[in-house]
Structure 1
Amino acid sequence: MSDLKTRFREMARGAQTLGLGYIGVANGLFSALRGLGSARVEALAHAACMDEGYVRRWCDAAYAFGLLEADGDNFRLSEMGAALDPESEDTLMPVAGHAMMSMHMAERAASFMRDGARPGEAVMFERETLGPLFGPMLEGSFSRLFRKMIAPNLPVFAEVAERGGLVVDLGCGNGWYLRALLRDRPLLRGLGVDGFEGNIVQARALAEQAGMSDRLSFVQSDLHAFELDEKADLIAMNRALHHVWEAGAQTFIARLRDALKPGGVVAIWEPDWPEDRAQLRTPARQGFAFQNLTEHVQGNHLLRAVEIAQAFEDAGMGVEIFRFAEGQEAVIVARKAG
């Protein structure tokens, strides 16, 4: 029992560390301190436009948990703190963000479990500081995998890039996928669609910063009822198909097919829910099990790649499944007849 108590206390300290990390990320404290190099509390609070009393207590706590180092009254980033800076290469910011999102969703699941309520995706944006971080968390978590593994190994991207055309991202978040895809593919145009205004505002600003506003645009729309002014060459959905699945998968897939040009392609990226429950015990897939609980709150559930592929085949499309990250991530490519 003493070993079990020790393990739980260590987990609690880990949660507190990530909580402090989240506060620093959400309020720009790591970024501000990186810019200052070393600073007293007063200077850090001023640079981050935060209340000095809160910053003082945060600095002491962040020092206690190893996120900051101190030289007298001057604080600087530790190795862990620097890794949480959103601007650092391969930032670990998403770890802190996901930890806080998990706690928020766990609280909501604990409440809704009593009466079976499933209030939808809006529950993710109930917390003022969490919503703006959602897009950056996904970008930080998955952009490297996309750039290094997925994009180079899906022939359809090279095919579309060579001939040019319109790429549509449904459930685009902050637009990171389209920015990554269009960066080195000048013949492509992009349209991002998302149901949340905050995501669209963020996506437009980031596209402008990247110098892509001339060929990358974003619109707010319910994914269930999206409409395109022109047929698409490629429609992408990244960890978003499961958000519309329960409302009528076959009807939605028919909408996707009909929104494509002849020979056009849909690329669906989803975590691949395992057939064997025992796989959920592996560290890499434990997060799937927790996510599936929080998806239930939103009216969703995670999907198996084979059931997605079957649904597209039933709609008369040719299908291939590509797996990445040791099989945890699947991209289902479905082509409309030419």
Structure 2
Amino acid sequence: MTETKRGELKKQFRGMARAAQVLGTAYIGVVNGLFTALQSLGKADAASLAAAAGMDPAYVRRWCDAAYAFDLLEAAGDSFWLSQTGAAMIPGAPATLMPAAAQAVLNMHMAERAAELMRTGERPGERVLAERKTLLPWFGPMLEANFARFFEDVICPAVPVFAEVNQRGGLAVDLGCGNGWYLRALARRCGGLRGLGIDGFDENISQATRLAAQEGLGERLRFVAGDAHQFTLDEPADLIAMNRALHHVWEAGGATFIARLRDNLRPGGAAAIWEPDWPADRATLRQPAFQGIAFQNLTEHVQGNHLLRADEIGEAFSAQGLTPEIFRFGDGQEAIIVARKPG
């Protein structure tokens, strides 16, 4: 490597490190409600902002300086107010940038865990998501901000099974429902269906129940704590959905789990599985759009999982007597596998 090339790489990686600092500073402001509080105040000094957000004044004063340094805040004298970038970090803002900050911190947490666990081979499972107290409450909102509009506006109209379930007023079950964003998005588009969400984290169930009630969907949507590996429904479902979660149960026995899906569907019902589509050709991972999937697959290993090919999922459904159809979106990164049970 030439000295010039080495210098270019150093500059590039310093820029990446600075970007991580920006996102880390933004994350602190998001999870502690500092951007939201400052939006309400308009302008405030650090002490007033700390009081409004219920935070320690000394921490907030230093955060304000860091946020100003990275153009997240504007300042004059002792007063601070939101820059355009800072305003875009507010979770409820249109096209909010919050997911980028939350994902960056989650990535660093998972990278640190992978670095440690690679030495022993341990794979502690999904509990690693709850190891950082500030991360788990933002996991669902991060996914919602990233995917809900895409699901509602692009996927739903293109995949006929959602309209079919809506037309007959059927039951849609979401396994691994998180904060319930998938069922809420589906219910907004499909006024005739009922929904049941199941998740293993109590924090997610509380969020999902509260958010459904806020949107006036509490009578149609219900959320309960449960183990997706061992679920049994009191009422056979017209649709069982899994949003980017099938790979979480696959290594424990994919064929057994798909048989459980089949047995909990009513005749003519369907499973709708949304998964990142792991490419068959490793060279695809060099494409910028797929690089994140490669990193995700590394961090999924920490959780006891690995990403799947859509064709592999379809073949597994066929082996259990269901008829699969694959819909691909996002330049091939995302796949919806709809597998129908014979009527």
TM bin, normalised by shorter chain, reads over 0.9
Q: Aligned equivalents of 1:281 and 1:166: distance in 2?
A: 41
1:165 Cα offset (Å)? 1.2
Q: Match for residue 274 of structure 2?
A: 269
1:43 Cα offset (Å)? 1.6
Q: Match for residue 126 of structure 1?
A: 131
Which of residues 215, 224, 242 is equivalent to 1:210? 215
SS of residue in 1 equivalent to 2:318: helix
1:185 Cα offset (Å)? 2.2
Mean Cα displacement is larger for which, 183-192 or 239-248? Answer: 183-192
1:219 Cα offset (Å)? 0.8
Q: Match for residue 178 of structure 1?
A: 183
1:186 Cα offset (Å)? 2.3
Q: Match for residue 23 of structure 2?
A: 18
Residues 1-338 of structure 1 aligned to structure 2 (within 5 Å): 1-338=6-343
Contact preservation (8 Å) 1:170, 1:192: yes
**Paired letter, 1:307:** E
1:208 Cα offset (Å)? 1.1
SS of residue in 2 equivalent to 1:164: coil
TM-score (norm 2): 0.97
Q: Aligned equivalents of 1:149 and 1:214: distance in 2?
A: 26
Q: Aligned equivalents of 2:35 and 2:45: distance in 1?
A: 14
1:71 Cα offset (Å)? 2.2
SS of residue in 1 equivalent to 2:120: coil
Q: Aligned equivalents of 1:310 and 1:22: distance in 2?
A: 41
Q: Aligned equivalents of 1:80 and 1:192: distance in 2?
A: 35
1:331 Cα offset (Å)? 0.2
**CA distances 1:196-236 after superposition (whole Å, capped 9, x unpaired):** 11111111111111111111111111111111110000000
Q: RMSD over aligned Cα, in angstroms?
A: 0.8
Contact preservation (8 Å) 2:152, 2:189: no
Mean Cα displacement is larger for which, 328-337 or 65-74? Answer: 65-74
Q: Aligned equivalents of 1:147 and 1:169: distance in 2?
A: 15
**Paired letter, 2:317:** F
TM-score (norm 1): 0.99
Contact preservation (8 Å) 1:31, 1:87: no
**Paired letter, 1:308:** I
**CA distances 1:265-303 after superposition (whole Å, capped 9, x unpaired):** 100000000111111111111110111010000000000
Contact preservation (8 Å) 2:144, 2:181: yes
1:84 Cα offset (Å)? 1.1
**Regions of 4+ moved over 3 Å:** none
Between Structure 1 and Structure 2, how many residues are aligned?
338
SS of residue in 2 equivalent to 1:244: helix
Q: Aligned equivalents of 1:12 and 1:184: distance in 2?
A: 41
1:75 Cα offset (Å)? 0.9
1:72 Cα offset (Å)? 2.0
- Flag structure 2 segments of 5+ consecutive residues without an equivalent: 1-5
Contact preservation (8 Å) 1:69, 1:78: yes
1:38 Cα offset (Å)? 1.6
